[in-house]
Amino acid sequence: MRAVTWHGRDDVRVDTVPDPTITDPTDVVVEITSSGICGSDLHLIEVMAPFMTVGDVMGHEPMGVVREVGPGVTELQVGDRVVVPFNISCGTCWMCSQGLHSQCETTQNREQGYGASLFGYTKLYGQVPGGQAEYLRVPFGNTLPIKVPDGPPDDRFVYLSDVLPTAWQAVQYAAVPKGGSVLVLGLGPIGDMATRVAKHLGAGQVLAADTVPERLARARANGIDVLDSTTQADVVAWARDKTDGRGPDAVIDAVGMEAHGSPGAKLAQKATAIVPDAIMEKVMQVAGIDRMAALNTAIEVVRRGGTISLSGVYGGATDPMPLMTMFDKQIQLRMGQANVWRWVPDILPLLVDEDFLGVESFATHHVPLEQAPEAYETFRRKQDGAVKVLLRP
């Protein structure tokens, strides 16, 4: 089959790789019909490159049609249409029973000290082949795939794999009071969707900050009050002015370590390109390599007693945080990989009959799988209005 594979920093290719096969009685093989490129995928060809291996199949936002089922699969049959969550969870362990599917005890990567395995995402998370491919082996066929109805286009459901539950969890973790205010930092796919979810769940005031014109235009068209700046002083002054001088009740950091503002961290990230991987792996696990401008802005702008929700990915181990300020302001901080199945029952009904969250028009680009390298570059450079790219095998 054809698949998007990792070959090094800034180097993804479409190669012919072995077809997946049933290896466990509860496996299913899914023929992929759509698969997203995520902002987290860009980390794999940049700062997270030391944890990758040449030939790794990428992608963790797929959906498709079941083509083969193992002898132990009772909940799916060939021909069923499914979305595949990005985190690989058994659905039956204690963690899964608590709604913490990203911490699944069955697939935890204990030898690495990390949580549940992820499709297509580094040796830290199991080095499991991903879904930017023609076919994908999916374990836990009775509990992991999300069965969706035939009829509506893929765009209606594909974001259940990652974007929707990640944005939904970000808003839930933000604990925005009914009718209260929330500021979203970054209007990439997760930030954009978080503004939509926040409005749907009853936030009275949804603010957002970014500098990419196409992203600002999309949010503005959805009724979001936007600021064309990410400079801390600008964001703080603007948001406080909008919230009676106190700052928003909640802030969602949908940027993560991509933020500018730390020359030292920028040098550390660039070092991943020239320092041998074996050395850089150790450095990244004990040193601060994040550019923390977005998080520092969130800490400064949120009102006293407010909540910060992190959905943007951070990768450093000892990045300094202003704990005195956080303690003094009585800030609550929540974060983590989205627990996809925790939120599916809440989200799926919003997708079946109507398009409450505007998902059918959410993608800016639909690209054949063979053009994945060009699509990665367009998305990474924020060219051609690219906000969300879906690959079509």
At 179-192, the pLDDT tens digits run 999 999 999 999 99
Length of the chain: 393
Q: What are phi and psi of 287, to 5 degrees?
A: -120, 160
Longest dimension (CA), the chain: 62
Structure tokens at 140: 């836990």
pLDDT (0 to 100) of residue 260 = 47
Cα–Cα distance for residue pair 142/140, rounded to 1 Å: 5
Q: Are strands 11-16 and 2-8 parallel, antiparallel or unpaired?
A: antiparallel
Q: What are phi and psi of 181, to 5 degrees?
A: -115, 145
pLDDT (0 to 100) of residue 135 = 98
At 174-232, the pLDDT tens digits run 999 999 999 999 999 999 999 999 999 999 999 999 999 999 999 999 999 999 999 99
Q: Would you call 326 exposed, middle or buried from its count of C-beta atoms within 10 A (0-12, 13-18, 19+)?
A: middle
Would you call 329 helix, strand, or coil by DSSP?
A: helix
Q: Is pLDDT at 101 greater than 70 in this prediction?
A: yes
pLDDT (0 to 100) of residue 316 = 62
By the 8 A CB rule, do 125 and 118 touch?
Answer: yes
pLDDT (0 to 100) of residue 315 = 65
Cα–Cα distance for residue pair 297/213, rounded to 1 Å: 21
Structure tokens at 219: 């949010």
Domain boundaries, the chain: 2-161+339-392, 164-335
What is the CATH code of the structural domain delimited by 2-161+339-392? 3.90.180.10
Residue by residue, DSSP assigns 330-390 as T-EEEE-S--HHHHHHHHTHHHHSS-TT-GGGT-SEEEEGGGHHHHHHHHHTT-TT-S-EE
Cα–Cα distance for residue pair 64/67, rounded to 1 Å: 9
Other residues' Cβ atoms within 10 Å of the Cβ of residue 336: 14
At 239-268, the pLDDT tens digits run 999 999 999 999 999 997 664 444 444 444
* 164-335 fold: Rossmann fold (3.40.50)
Structure tokens at 224: 């979001």
By the 8 A CB rule, do 88 and 119 touch?
Answer: yes
By the 8 A CB rule, do 144 and 89 touch?
Answer: yes
By the 8 A CB rule, do 165 and 347 touch?
Answer: yes
Cα–Cα distance for residue pair 327/293, rounded to 1 Å: 19
Read off the amino acid at residue 261: G
Q: Is pLDDT at 91 greater than 50 in this prediction?
A: yes
Q: Is pLDDT at 282 greater than 70 in this prediction?
A: no
Q: Is pLDDT at 279 greater than 70 in this prediction?
A: no
DSSP-derived letter for residue 120 is: T
| Residue 46 pLDDT class (50, 70, 90 cuts) | confident
Closest C-alpha among 54, 65, 87 to residue 134 = 65
In sequence order, which ranges of 72-140 are alpha helices (DSSP H)? 94-97
Tell the residue number behind the tokens 């029973």, with chain if given.
97
Instruction: Please state the rounded mean pLDDT for residues 132-148.
Output: 98
Cα–Cα distance for residue pair 154/357, rounded to 1 Å: 15
Share of the chain above pLDDT 70, in %: 90
pLDDT (0 to 100) of residue 287 = 47
Q: Which residues pair with residue 32 across a beta bridge?
A: 64
| Alpha-carbon dihedral sign for residues 111, 114, 119, 122 | negative
Q: Is pLDDT at 276 greater than 60 in this prediction?
A: no
Instruction: Please state the rounded mean pLDDT for residues 233-241.
Output: 98
Q: Is pLDDT at 30 greater than 80 in this prediction?
A: yes
